Amino acid sequence: MRNTLLKMLAALMCTLATCADVMPVKDFNLEMMAGKWYLVGFATNAQWFVNHKASMKSGVAQLSPTEGGDLDLSYSKLNADGTCWRMTHLARKTETPGRFTFHSQAWNNDNDMRIVDVVYNDYALVHTIKTKDGVSEVLNKLYSKFCSLASQQPSGKAFCIRCLVHLEVMTHSVFAGRTPETSAVLQQKFTQYSLDTGILADNIAILPKNGKLSKQKNPCRPFSS
C-alpha cells in the first residue's frame, strides 16, 4: 500500500510538471474531427477509474463542430443491464486550435481538453486535464474512427480507409461500421504517451469491445453537462 501511494504521488508530481506544456497537434482541422468515433483506450490515475476499470468497455463518441468553432461531444455506451448511458458536453474553443475547455456539471470539474495527435480517418489521442477543488488529474483517451468508405474511386470501388475493406459501389458513397479495433503499434503509442504524462502502467487500459446500441432496444439515459 505504501509503495502504491508513493508511486501515485510521484506520478502526480510528474503530471503537474509536464502536462501544462502539452500542446495540441499542429494544423488542427476541426471539421475533419466530425463524425462517430469509438472510445478504445482510457488512462488516468483517478480513483474512480482504478475502482471500476475491470468492468469498463468501449463506447461511442459523436463529435459535431459548431458554426462558432466549438465542439459538441456526445458519449454513449451500453450498460450491463442493456440500457444506454449518455453524456453530452459543449467544448468551447480557445485561442489555440485543437484546445477546448468545458465544465462538467455531472462531475463538477473543469476540463482542459487538447487533441494531441490525430489521423482524421484513423485515430485521435485526446489529453484532458481535469480540475476540481484545486486538484488536477490527467485523462488520456484513444479514439478509433468509425469505419467509413471513401468517395467512389475511378475503378468503381471505394475503400474503407480505417478497416481496409473494399466494396463494389455503384453511384453513391457508402458507409459501413465495424466494432472498434486498434493495432498493436497504436496501442503501444497510447501506452507510452500515457506513461510520459504521468499515468501509472496499471491505470492504462485498452477497452474490450461492447455490444451494439439500438435506439429501440437500448433506451438512453441522458446526462447533460
Reported as a single tens digit per residue, the pLDDT across 180-208 is: 678 999 999 999 999 999 999 999 999 99
Which of 65-79, 121-135, 202-216 is predicted with the least confidence, judged by mean pLDDT?
A: 202-216
Q: What is the mean pLDDT of residues 30-44?
A: 96
Which pLDDT tens digit goes with each residue over 148-171?
Answer: 544 334 444 434 444 443 333 322
Q: Which amino acid is at 115?
A: I
Asked if pLDDT for residue 174 goes beyond 50, the answer is: no
Report d(CA 220, CA 101) in Å as an integer.
Answer: 25
Report d(CA 126, CA 115) in Å as an integer.
Answer: 5
The mean pLDDT value of the chain amounts to: 80
H or E segment to which residue 216 belongs: none
Which of 2-16, 30-44, 130-144, 206-220 is predicted with the least confidence, judged by mean pLDDT?
A: 2-16
- We find that the CATH architecture of domain 2-224 is Beta Barrel (2.40)
Residue 151 φ/ψ, nearest 5 degrees: -60, 160
- How far the first Cα of the chain sits from its last, in Å, is 35
